[in-house]
Structure 1
């Protein structure tokens, strides 16, 4: 837990250092757009809408933080996506342990639905809505998007530092907070909450990236996710960020982010 607290503090400092990049003239940013009200709580996100005309691709962006807090605002990648021509919905969701699985997955799914429902208002191409998440956010966007073939659905997903198989950490206090029970008492729940078990034949294409020296979410998790996607013949691409751990991959994975943006563009061109 001490490691998680240090990571959270460092991510907050990194997030603060990126605030200046939000003032781009190429898009309009609207903060705290509510997409859902539940149990007296308003869940919201920041909308980034490029100032170009016509229908635009979109991305729902989901933050990390061990499912218990918001580690990093995801404003950096949201800004890059907006500059690349994507409408971006950078959302919040209910946090553990107060809100346990599947509550945060349901929130992400509802945010995707909200963007579909408001597509006309923001000039969103409903055939080209995608997902992007890092760490716990990668887990949640995969859970919300992998086995949802009916509309609304995602065209592509970019997932960084992904916790793909939660059963690999049977003693994890973070996963226990998400599920609400230790794995010894809830093995099926831990399995059901793992993205590797939600890949379908018609799942969206997935781009995975991971830090080579990640000690919090080991790189083997990316290999497990790729294996599950390959087994169902789902398009998947992987990218290893050399010599970086979990925190620095979030903060400094410029090459991975550029490739991820290119990957999402390619899914549209491949139609």
Structure 2
């Protein structure tokens, strides 16, 4: 299961909309402002998910975070980018970097303060947020990544392990909401591999099969870009995620802490939460995340 809400954003409030940061029709962004004044605002740059093939900067994947940011006095930048089948991971990552550069270069034109720029995303957007922070730490000061991919070749092995383990654990409280729908294809015990097939979305995005070790699989995986200079990152993942297993975030954080020798990379597991769960968007979790965003690094 995964969440598929129907809340969409409408450009009826202060901001700048469908601003082009490139020549392709997909390379556009929206800038949402809390108030139309002359001041500048701290900025959250939000990247939507959708399996690298779907969704939009104003759809339900982006809208809750954008609205929460506005309510807390932040400006929010929500972006579109090129996706499958048009491009592979290199071009999509380049789009994010081009959009970031555009926002930083034109910050004062759009009432943005990008001194402490936050990049936030969920699922595919969480993956792209991590890559932005890892590859452009001079621009990105903090990253929030919800249920991201961090290591493409390991996803199926981790999913299979989780399904086996769940057979022997006591039943847990289920994560239910009216927005939840079956994922396609369904991840049943007998249907592995789920990601590591020649025609999976992940394989198409990487540009090579994930059923065997490949250079592209390594280059596309954030876990292979960890450095001592990476910015603080908060990863949150659900233990009930049957699309992207929680080990993707856990193993990323463990390796990151070994490299940085500190705890600037944090990983938090939300018990029972599925992919895109409403449990990530509770008032309590938003308070926790925004407290973390305002914390000073020592």
Does residue 248 (structure 1) correspond to residue 232 (structure 2)? The answer is no
User: CA 1:115–1:30 in 2, change beyond 3 Å: closer, same or farther?
Assistant: same
1:105-144 equivalence runs, <5 A? 105-144=93-132
Residue equivalent to 2:30: 46
- Are the counterparts in 2 of residues 31 and 45 from structure 1 also a CA contact under 8 Å? yes
Measured after TM superposition, the shift of residue 18 of structure 1 is 5.4
Which residue of structure 2 lines up, in the alignment, with residue 203 of structure 1? Answer: 230
Q: Is the 8 A contact 2:153 2:211 kept in 1?
A: no
Asked if the contact 2:155–2:248 (Cα under 8 Å) also holds between the matched residues in 1, the reply is no
Distance 1:36 1:258, change over 3 A: farther
1:216-256 deviation per Cα after TM superposition (whole angstroms, max 9, x unaligned)? 11111110121132122260222222322003247745433
Q: After superposing the two structures, state which structure 1 stretch, 182-191 or 250-259, moved more.
A: 250-259
Q: Which runs of 5+ in 2 are unaligned?
A: 157-195
Q: Which has the higher contact order (CA 8 A, sep 6+)?
A: 2
Q: What does residue 249 of structure 2 align with?
A: 222
Deviation at 1:77, TM superposition (A): 0.4
**TM-score of the pair, normalised by structure 1:** 0.83
Contact 2:127 2:149 in 1 (8 A): yes
Between the aligned partners of 1:177 and 1:250, the Cα distance in structure 2 is 30
Q: CA deviation at 1:42?
A: 4.3
User: Do structure 1's residue 92 and structure 2's residue 92 form an aligned pair?
Assistant: no
Which residue number corresponds to residue 45 of structure 2? Answer: 60
1:83: which partner in 2?
71
DSSP 3-state at the match of 2:269: strand
How far 1:90 sits from its partner (Å)?
0.5
RMSD of aligned Cα (Å): 2.4
Question: What TM-score, normalized by structure 2, do the two folds share?
Answer: 0.76
Please say if residues 212 and 242 of structure 1, whose CA atoms lie closer than 8 Å, have aligned partners that are also in contact.
yes
**Matching residue of 1:17:** 7
**Higher gyration radius (CA):** 2
| Residue 54 of structure 1, CA deviation | 3.6
**Unaligned segments of structure 1, at least 5 residues:** none
Report the Cα distance in structure 2 between the residues aligned to 1:82 and 1:210, rounded to whole angstroms.
Answer: 24
1:145 to 128, 133, 139: 133
Give the conservation status (yes or no) of the 8 Å contact 2:32–2:77. yes
Out of 258, 261, 264, the residue aligned to residue 231 of structure 1 is 258
Q: Which residue in 2 is equivalent to 1:35?
A: 21
Contact 1:60 1:89 in 2 (8 A): yes
Comparing 107-116 and 231-240, the one that deviates more: 231-240
Distance in 1 between residues matched to 2:72 and 2:225, nearest whole Å: 30
